Amino acid sequence: MSPTPSVDKKADLNSAEDNSSIDQDEIQLVGEALLTLPRSSYVITLVFMFITAGVLAEICSALPLSGSIYIWAAESAGPKHARFFGFLVAWWACTAWMTFAASNSQVRDYGVSALPKTHTTANYLVSIMAIYDVNFPGGIDNSNVKWRAIIWALSEAFFIMGIAINYLPPRWYSRIFRFTIGLLMLDFLLCLIWLPIGVSKTYGFRSAKDVFTATYNGTGAPPVWNWMLSFLFTAGTLTGFDASGHIAEETKNASVVAAKGLFTGAVATGILGFITAILFLFCTPSFDVLFALNAPQPFVQIYAQALGRGGAVFMSILAIIGLVLNTSIAVVAASRLVFAVARDGVLPGSQWIGRVTEDGQPRNAVTVMFVFGAAILCTILPSQVAFTSLVSAGAVPTIAAYALIPLLRLTMTPNSFRSTHFNLGRFRKLYYLAAFVFNTFVLAVMLSPFFFPVTSESFNFVRGEVAE
């Protein structure tokens, strides 16, 4: 297998070699997403995910408790079915958030950054090798066990860094949050200002016609299905905004602040993501160049073409630090969720997991996050496919919960939670229906084939994992 896919190779997306090469399938999907985001699917996603955020903010204001989303599901189901749906969503939420914390250290993430880049921590670091033409023993190839070993070691190291921050005294958290926001805004502004300047002086911008009218089918799917697959990226960008509710019990005036944080988080991510999507549409090189990139994280090479090697290294380091901090913040939210679920006796070992320290911190839940995440990362060693399949299922339970809660509000408790400070008013039932339909659609896309024709190499194993 060649570590440098040729431009001609993209014509045959379904060969075994093409489907197993590093990032090649992903680059095809990224290309499709980039060419459809601003025109339609991103705008549609913004509208319906803002509605979803409003639906969740309404119940978050009425029930500002740690555990948030599974408690919202239980209460939305009414007294008769509360235990069943609460138990179901509790496992969904724990699976999603605990998996994400590990995946953020290595594999691509589509849901937590204002920037629609295929973010990865370890892959950003090793991709710097590509811009300096460093040859790795055995090649940069997922079939190379030495390569998988170095990716695993780096991923574990970054994951440990993210976990370790959660053992710091609570007074440090607000400082870390502020620093992280500042760092992400710096990343955003540099992409908004520095990257376009670099592109203008090197390979040049795409035309407005390309940005706003061009389409690309790199999946082999029929045109309509190909367009639908772009929702993998648009919806993924706006997933995870319920995190504000996970720490509601540690938030002052939580019935107002937590709900407002949930909704404004979704709006801010959507708007910044939309701006950046258009920016990258203009700044992305031609597809002949894009598909010829051979780094695990292709954006490092894009930065190198536009900004030079020094600029690419700086932007990569910025992304790495941001992702480590991002992981630590995700662990803060996820550990509160795990703690709340354990407090209600749902998890094995709940009595120990549900304990808190003298200063009220769920350190045992953080430890569980570490053990679970470190174990998942170990699956990189025998097979990158196994690891990718495991973490790919992480977003599915979250979207399923986003669909289920509005359905329960619509059918079982449409007139409840009148004490909320985020009342949706007379059109609330319409909002419940819209949120349910859209998230069900996104869930179906996540479970559908990503490449056609479907082969053993291109099969979407998420469906099998969800069925189990």
% of the chain beyond a pLDDT of 70: 83
**pLDDT tier for residue 103 given thresholds of 50, 70 and 90:** confident
Report the distance separating Cα 95 and Cα 363, nearest Å. 19
Asked, for residue 2, whether it belongs to a domain, the answer is no
Average pLDDT over every residue of 129-146:
82
The answer to whether 335 and 369 have CB atoms below 8 angstroms apart is: yes
Does residue 215 carry a pLDDT above 90?
no
The answer to whether 124 and 412 have CB atoms below 8 angstroms apart is: no
This prediction's pTM = 0.81
Amino acid identity of residue 258, one-letter, is A
For residue 77, what pLDDT is reported?
Answer: 94
Asked, for residue 1, whether it belongs to a domain, the answer is no
Burial of 43 (0-12, 13-18, 19+ CB in 10 A): middle
Q: Classify the C-alpha dihedral 172-178-182-184 as positive or negative.
A: positive
Does residue 343 carry a pLDDT above 90?
no
Asked, for residue 358, whether it belongs to a domain, the answer is yes
Average pLDDT over every residue of 230-246:
83
Average pLDDT over every residue of 49-57:
95
Does residue 28 carry a pLDDT above 50?
no
Task: State the total domains in the chain.
Answer: 1
Kindly compute the dihedral angle of the four CA atoms of residues 343, 346, 350, 353, in this order, to the nearest 10 degrees: -70
In order of 3, 101, 102, 450, the CA distances from 295 in angstroms are 8, 23, 21, 22
**CATH code of residue 124:** 1.20.1740.10
109 forms bridges with which residues in the sheet?
A: 119
Asked, for residue 382, whether it belongs to a domain, the answer is yes
Domain that holds residue 164: 7-467
% of the chain beyond a pLDDT of 90: 29
Residue-wise burial string across 212-251, b where 16 or more C-beta atoms lie within 10 A, e elsewhere? eeeeebbbbbeeeebbbbbbbbbbbbbbbbbbbbbbbbeb
Does residue 22 carry a pLDDT above 80?
no
In order of 33, 57, 118, 337, 460, the CA distances from 409 in angstroms are 32, 13, 34, 22, 31
Report the distance separating Cα 95 and Cα 394, nearest Å. 6
Asked, for residue 113, whether it belongs to a domain, the answer is yes
Asked, for residue 217, whether it belongs to a domain, the answer is yes
Asked, for residue 11, whether it belongs to a domain, the answer is yes
For residue 344, what pLDDT is reported?
Answer: 84
Does residue 304 carry a pLDDT above 90?
yes
Asked, for residue 447, whether it belongs to a domain, the answer is yes
For residue 120, what pLDDT is reported?
Answer: 64
For residue 37, what pLDDT is reported?
Answer: 47
At 168-191, the pLDDT tens digits run 888 888 888 889 989 989 998 999
Average model confidence (pLDDT) across the chain: 81
At 345-400, the pLDDT tens digits run 888 888 999 998 888 889 999 999 999 888 888 888 887 766 766 676 667 888 99
The answer to whether 116 and 273 have CB atoms below 8 angstroms apart is: yes
Average pLDDT over every residue of 27-40:
51
> What phi and psi, each to the nearest 5 degrees, are found at residue 109?
-125, 135
**pLDDT tier for residue 138 given thresholds of 50, 70 and 90:** confident
The answer to whether 431 and 394 have CB atoms below 8 angstroms apart is: no
For residue 410, what pLDDT is reported?
Answer: 95
**pLDDT tier for residue 337 given thresholds of 50, 70 and 90:** confident
Average pLDDT over every residue of 295-322:
91
For residue 462, what pLDDT is reported?
Answer: 64
Average pLDDT over every residue of 128-154:
84
Tell me if residue 230 falls in helix, strand or coil: coil
